[in-house]
């Protein structure tokens, strides 16, 4: 057997990248490729920054200039004293820069349980365990989560609780996009991914089915997901870390 | 769901040109009458073309229109006096280097590009100035690299919105729908009666143009 190609599928086309940056749901192929390709994630982040700046960037309020500024410019620029002068007594009305309308939730759909079907992971995997895990439960594996592109941190711990495994994830300094959630995934080195669950605030605690091989799905990934009803990975990963078995 | 149903045909929100009269501001200014100024109420594109052609009236209108914006930008990083100096330097430099301005670009975006450099230079000069240093060093503190910050994002936004306005139709309407109405390319196609493939192509090309213009202004 040869080693798997570290990146899954083809790179994003520019069209796929700009549509994803605008918030459209990526195709399954894109969702599979992005977690495996830093170059495409970086390109997507560049487009996302542009989109965010246009949609939600801060406006600069114009500030009137003191009298004499135009005269100084006119002199220094070498314009004749007879040059026309701008009428600064007419205060330019503040232009209302365009903004995203409030109806940005127009595309909101009831979020389906964000499950990647297969790999033996049943629907029960995302059910939040009602009782908090006793902190004393022994850790089986753990990961420090580091920011993928910007800031934040977190940790993931797999514990053995009464003979079954549970995954605890907690994050700091990262937030979901407006009208979105943070979702936890397990990635393998072959581009495969498992949806583990949706974080409530900055915490997640879910049971891990016994079939999930942590030697294979060793990467914990936290992504920002729009509530668009698309169960695929948004490709907007914020934190990531490798699970290492506890000694 | 908020906002009710989908709106009817979307009318592009055009920004009306800012009406500016080019007239003496004070009695004693003794500015000769220049007759009806063709740029006073011209749109931004016409002002940009007049400026590129070396028309002083267009330059005066450009100053009135965008100097307060450049001033606002400069004030984010600099104290009053320095910010005014920057505005002055930006417009003097703009006039002298107007041959380098491509009138197919948005003039405010180009001015902001000059302003970025002037502001960065002024910030660096302040950091070097010994009297501003809190430590008694002979060489002055090393200038810190100017890192992208909120002021840069604000400048980016000026450039991007100005370039968005310069897109032709239907690209401008398509991109506005994608940005501000949060519509998918399929929804935009339904509303504009354009083929889906055409909408996708407009979105991609227009965003690429905005990005190129932004990178060209940084």
Residue A227 covered by a domain: yes
Quote the pLDDT of residue B30.
34
Closest partner residue to A105 among B1, B68, B84, by Cβ?
Answer: B1
Q: Which of A112, A114, A109, A141 is nearest to A197 (CA)?
A: A114
Please report which confidence band the pLDDT of residue A146 belongs to, taking 50, 70 and 90 as the band edges: confident
- State whether B88 and A47 contact (CB < 8 Å): no
Question: In the numeric block, which tokens belong to residue A95?
Answer: 């232009």
Across the interface, whether the CB atoms of B182 and A65 are under 8 A apart is answered no
Kindly state the tokens that stand for B75: 């004030």
**What pLDDT is attached to residue A86?**
66
CB contact under 8 A, B84 and A66: yes
Yes or no: say if A9 and A191 are a contact pair by the CB < 8 Å rule: yes
- For B9-37, what is the mean pLDDT? 39
Please indicate, yes or no, if residue A84 is contained in any of the structural domains: no
Is A129 within 8 Å of chain B by CB? Answer: no
pLDDT at B8 over 50: no
- pLDDT digit string (tens) for A83-99? 666 655 444 444 456 66
pLDDT higher than threshold 80 for residue B13: no
| CB-defined contacts A:B, below 8 A | 184
Question: Could you tell me which CATH number the domain at B167-218 has?
Answer: 1.10.10
Between positions 80 and 109 of A, the ones with CB within 8 A of B are: 80, 82-90, 92-93, 95-108
* Terminal-to-terminal C-alpha distance of chain B: 40
Contact A166, A132 (CB under 8 A): no
CA distance B38 to B47: 9
A7-21, A131-145, B80-94, B170-184, range with the lowest pLDDT: A131-145
Tokens 């504009």 belong to: B192
CATH number of the domain bearing residue A122: 2.60.40
- Per-residue pLDDT, A136: 59
The tokens of B184 are what?
Answer: 């998918």
In angstroms, the separation between the Cα of residue A233 and the nearest Cα of chain B is 18
Predicted local confidence at residue A42, as pLDDT: 93
Give the gap in angstroms from C-alpha B133 to the nearest C-alpha of chain A.
28
Q: Is residue A2 predicted with pLDDT exceeding 50?
A: no
Q: What is the pLDDT confidence band of residue A181, given thresholds at 50, 70 and 90?
A: confident
The alpha-helical segments, DSSP class H, found in chain A are 14-21, 28-33, 38-56, 69-77
Judging contacts by C-beta atoms under 8 Å, the chain A residues touching residue B69 are: 60, 62
Task: State the smallest CA–CA distance between residue B138 and chain A in angstroms.
Answer: 34
Q: How confident is the model at residue B210 (pLDDT cuts 50, 70, 90)?
A: very high
Residue of A nearest to B21 (CA): A87
Cβ contact, residue pair B184, A107, below 8 Å: yes
Nearest-10 Cα torsion for A124, A129, A134, A136: 30
- Asked whether residue A7 is assigned to any structural domain, the reply reads no
Q: Token pair for residue A142?
A: 């753990």
Indicate whether B19 pLDDT > 60.
no
The pLDDT score that the predictor gives to residue A160 is 83
pLDDT at A196 over 90: no
pLDDT tens-digit readout, B47-83: 999 999 999 989 999 999 999 999 999 999 899 889 9
CA angle A204, A208, A211 (to 5 degrees): 155
Pairing state between β A193-198 and A219-226: unpaired
Task: Please state which of the ranges A20-24, A101-105, B13-17, B139-143 shows the lowest mean pLDDT.
Answer: B13-17
A18 close contact with B: CB closer than 8 A = yes
For a pLDDT cut of 70, what percent of chain A falls above it? 74
Q: How far is B140 from chain A (nearest CA, A)?
A: 31
Q: What is the pLDDT of residue B16?
A: 35
pLDDT the model gives residue A5:
57
Q: Output the average pLDDT for chain A.
A: 75
B211 contacts on A by Cβ (under 8 Å): 46-47, 50
Q: Which of A123-127, A139-143, B107-111 has the lowest mean pLDDT?
A: A123-127
Q: Lowest-confidence range among A114-118, A123-127, A152-156, B97-101?
A: A114-118
Cβ-defined contact of B18 to A92 (cutoff 8 Å): yes
- Phi, psi (deg, nearest 5) at residue A182: -100, 135
Number of folded domains that form chain A: 1
Kindly tell me if the per-residue pLDDT of A47 is higher than 80. yes
The interface predicted TM-score of the complex, written ipTM, equals: 0.72
Structure token pair of residue B19: 């009406």
Q: Residue A97: what pLDDT?
A: 61
A 10 A CB-CB count for B174 gives: 25
> Averaged over A155-180, what is the pLDDT?
83
Asked whether residue A208 carries a pLDDT value surpassing 70, the answer given is: yes
CB B199 within 8 A of CB B174: yes
pLDDT of A140 higher than 60: yes
Range of the domain at A176: 107-245
- Structural domain boundaries in chain B: 38-146, 167-218
- For domain B38-146, the question of CATH label 1.10.1740.10 is answered with yes
The percentage of residues in chain A with a pLDDT greater than 90, rounded to a whole number, is: 14
Q: What is the pLDDT of residue A152?
A: 80
CA distance to partner chain A, nearest, from residue B141 (Å): 29
**Mean predicted confidence (pLDDT) in A29-41:** 90
Q: Hey, are the CB atoms on B88 and A69 less than 8 Å from each other? A: yes
B188 pLDDT higher than 90? yes
**pLDDT (0 to 100) of residue B36:** 57
pLDDT at residue B40, as a whole number: 74
A164: which 2 tokens? 């079954």
What's the gap in Å between the CA of A81 and the closest CA on chain B?
Answer: 8
Higher pLDDT, B30 or A94: A94
Q: Average the pLDDT over A160-179 and give the result.
A: 82
Is A98 within 8 Å of B176 (Cβ atoms)?
yes
Q: Please give the pLDDT value at position B5.
A: 40
């Amino acid at each position: 057997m040869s080693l798997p190609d570290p990146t899954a599928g083809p790179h994003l086309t520019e069209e796929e990248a700009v549509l994803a940056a605008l918030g459209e749901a990526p195709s399954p192929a894109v969702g599979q490729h992005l977690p495996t390709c830093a170059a495409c994630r970086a390109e997507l982040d560049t487009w996302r920054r542009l989109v965010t700046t246009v949609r939600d960037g801060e406006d600069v309020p114009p500030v009137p200039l003191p009298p004499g500024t135009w005269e100084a410019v006119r002199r220094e620029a070498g314009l004749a004293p007879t040059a026309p002068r701008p009428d600064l007594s007419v205060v330019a009305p503040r232009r209302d820069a365009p903004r995203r309308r409030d109806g940005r939730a127009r595309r909101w759909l009831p979020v389906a349980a964000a499950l990647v079907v297969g790999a033996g992971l049943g629907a029960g995997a995302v059910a939040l365990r009602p009782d908090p895990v006793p902190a004393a439960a022994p850790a089986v594996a753990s990961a420090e989560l580091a920011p993928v592109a910007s800031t934040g941190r977190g940790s993931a711990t797999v514990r053995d609780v009464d003979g079954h495994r549970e995954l605890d994830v907690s994050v700091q300094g990262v937030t979901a996009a407006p009208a979105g959630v943070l979702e936890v995934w397990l990635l393998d080195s072959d581009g495969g991914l498992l949806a583990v669950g949706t974080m409530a605030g900055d915490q997640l605690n879910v049971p891990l089915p016994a079939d999930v091989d942590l030697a294979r799905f060793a990467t914990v990934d936290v992504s920002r997901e729009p509530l668009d009803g698309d169960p695929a990975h948004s490709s907007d990963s914020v934190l990531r870390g490798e699970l290492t078995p506890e000694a | 769901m908020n906002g009710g149903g989908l709106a009817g045909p979307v009318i592009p929100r055009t920004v009306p040109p800012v009406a500016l009269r080019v007239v003496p501001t004070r009695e004693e200014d003794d500015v000769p009458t220049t007759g009806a100024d063709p740029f006073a109420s011209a749109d931004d594109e016409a002002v940009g073309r007049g400026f590129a052609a070396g028309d002083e009236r267009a330059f005066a209108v450009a100053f009135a229109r965008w100097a307060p914006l450049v001033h606002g930008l400069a004030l984010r990083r600099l104290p009053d006096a320095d910010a005014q100096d920057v505005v002055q330097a930006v417009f003097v430099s703009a006039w002298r280097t107007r041959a380098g301005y491509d009138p197919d670009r948005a003039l405010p975006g180009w001015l902001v590009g000059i302003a970025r450099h002037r502001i960065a230079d002024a910030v660096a000069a302040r950091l070097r100035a010994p009297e501003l240093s809190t430590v008694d060093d002979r060489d002055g503190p090393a200038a810190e690299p100017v890192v992208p910050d909120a002021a840069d994002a604000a400048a980016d936004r000026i450039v991007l919105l100005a370039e968005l306005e310069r897109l032709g139709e239907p690209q401008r309407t398509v991109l506005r729908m994608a940005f501000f109405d949060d519509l998918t390319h399929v929804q935009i196609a339904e509303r504009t009666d354009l083929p889906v493939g055409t909408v996708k192509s407009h979105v991609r090309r227009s965003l690429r143009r905005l990005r190129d213009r932004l990178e060209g202004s940084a």
